[in-house]
Amino acid sequence: MILECPECSTRYLVPDSAIGAEGRTVRCANCRHSWFQDPPPPEPAPPPPVVEPAPVFDPAQPVATVEPERPAFLEPAAIPPVRPAAAPESVLPAPDYDAFAPRPPFRPRRNTSKRWTVIAVLAGLLMIAGVAAIVFLGAPGLLARIGLPIGAQESPLRLKDNPIERRGLENGSELFAVSGQVSNPSSERQRVPDIRAELRDAQGRIVYSWTITPQQRTLNPGGTIDFNSAKLDVPTNSKRLELSFAGEAAN
């Protein structure tokens, strides 16, 4: 049968068996339009054959000679070119399943690289939070010991040390006493860090050092606090004492 697209009038020569007895949905290969094609009409039943009576031979009647008829040649009708039939496409709903989805007993693969990336990010955030807690919650001496700077700005606090006192004890040991004062010349309340005491020899090398904890951690504007510390049996080659705040270079 010949199908014609109702949109672009493209004609197709399709066998009747491709449409079926109930019809089906087809699509035009030219404009992609889809329509439902009815089944072809049933062919009419052939008429019953006509049985003619056998002629009666009469020997008295002359026999006429009949010349054979020449076959007639029919010219083909002007039929527009028919494009090759496209395979009918049935309109079916999209499948409601994933052909590549994992099925039991298989399990989906775990993305190990993504998991390690998340762990590394969390570890970095925890390290940053720890350093921030050390800086803002008050452990500058600890930062100085592990080699981390406290901050880019120098503390506005000032150190003033008193003369060193060396005193021999009854047990033969020597007491090395250090004292001084911390002042706040600024107009803002300041936090008082630990004080680092360093003893150096004649060549400027450190021979002994320790940390002095202040009596209070905050100092009001214009305020002062005293500090003192004592050690036993310090190296005898110590010639000079240098005091500085933990995390800052010694003056």
Distance of alpha carbon 184 from alpha carbon 155, whole angstroms: 10
Rg from Cα positions in the chain: 55
Distance of CA 119 to the CA centre of its chain: 14
What does each C-alpha distance from 202 to 84, 91, 188, 198, 225 come to in angstroms?
108, 99, 39, 13, 31
Distance of alpha carbon 100 from alpha carbon 232, whole angstroms: 78
Q: Can you give the pLDDT at residue 222?
A: 92
Distance of alpha carbon 93 from alpha carbon 117, whole angstroms: 41
Q: Can you give the pLDDT at residue 89?
A: 54
Q: Which two tokens stand for residue 118?
A: 């998340």
Q: Can you give the pLDDT at residue 100?
A: 55
Instruction: Give the CATH fold of the 158-245 domain.
Output: Immunoglobulin-like (2.60.40)
Q: Can you give the pLDDT at residue 251?
A: 46
Q: Can you give the pLDDT at residue 91?
A: 47
Q: Which two tokens stand for residue 97?
A: 């399943």
Task: Split the chain (251 residues) into runs of 10 and give each run's mean pLDDT.
Answer: 85 80 84 84 76 68 55 44 55 51 57 83 90 62 50 75 84 86 93 92 91 93 92 86 78 46
pTM above 0.85, yes or no: no
Coil, helix or strand at residue 124: helix
Parse the chain into domains and list their residue ranges.
Answer: 1-41+80-93, 158-245
Q: What angle do CA 138, 144, 147 make, to 5 degrees?
A: 130
